[in-house]
Amino acid sequence: MIAVPAPSPHPSPTLPPLPHLPELPTGPMRSVALVTSAVAALVLLTAAYLATCRIWPYANCGRCNGSGKSRSPSRKAFRNCKRCKGTGRRERTGTKFLNRHKTH
């Protein structure tokens, strides 16, 4: 009696099994699912960042570190920081984005 190996109905030697990602489909649909979840995560992160920009719209001015003063070399006299005009703050990138897309 000769043992003949049963032919596999769907031979796929190029695709190894993915034991740690069982919920994702295999083949081209797998990359689509990966891109979709990556885009969803990016949208969520951006929404969270814009929400913090709405609550805390400003950050410290990078030149004067939030003091609003540009000190003289003697450290006794100062003038208004040129970059922030003495306010000591700058608008965050997300704040500029929100202001640009304001509806009113």
* CA of residue 41 relative to chain centroid, distance: 8
How far apart (Å, rounded) are the C-alpha atoms in residues 61 and 59? 6
Name which of 53 and 81 has its Cβ closer to Zn ion.
81
Q: Rule CB under 5 A: say whether 69 interacts with Zn ion.
A: no
Q: Rule CB under 5 A: say whether 61 interacts with Zn ion.
A: yes
Name which of 53 and 68 has its Cβ closer to Zn ion.
68
Name which of 53 and 64 has its Cβ closer to Zn ion.
64
Name which of 78 and 97 has its Cβ closer to Zn ion.
78
Nearest to 18 by CA among 32, 33, 30, 10: 30
H helices present in the chain, as ranges: 28-55, 93-100
**Interacting residues of 79 by C-beta distance below 8 A, sequence separation 6+:** 69, 70, 72
Q: Please count the residues of this chain forming the interface with Zn ion, following the rule CB under 5 A.
A: 6
Q: Rule CB under 5 A: say whether 89 interacts with Zn ion.
A: no
Q: Rule CB under 5 A: say whether 84 interacts with Zn ion.
A: yes
Place of tokens 């969520």: 44
Which residues lie near Zn ion (CB under 5 A)?
Answer: 61, 63-64, 81, 83-84
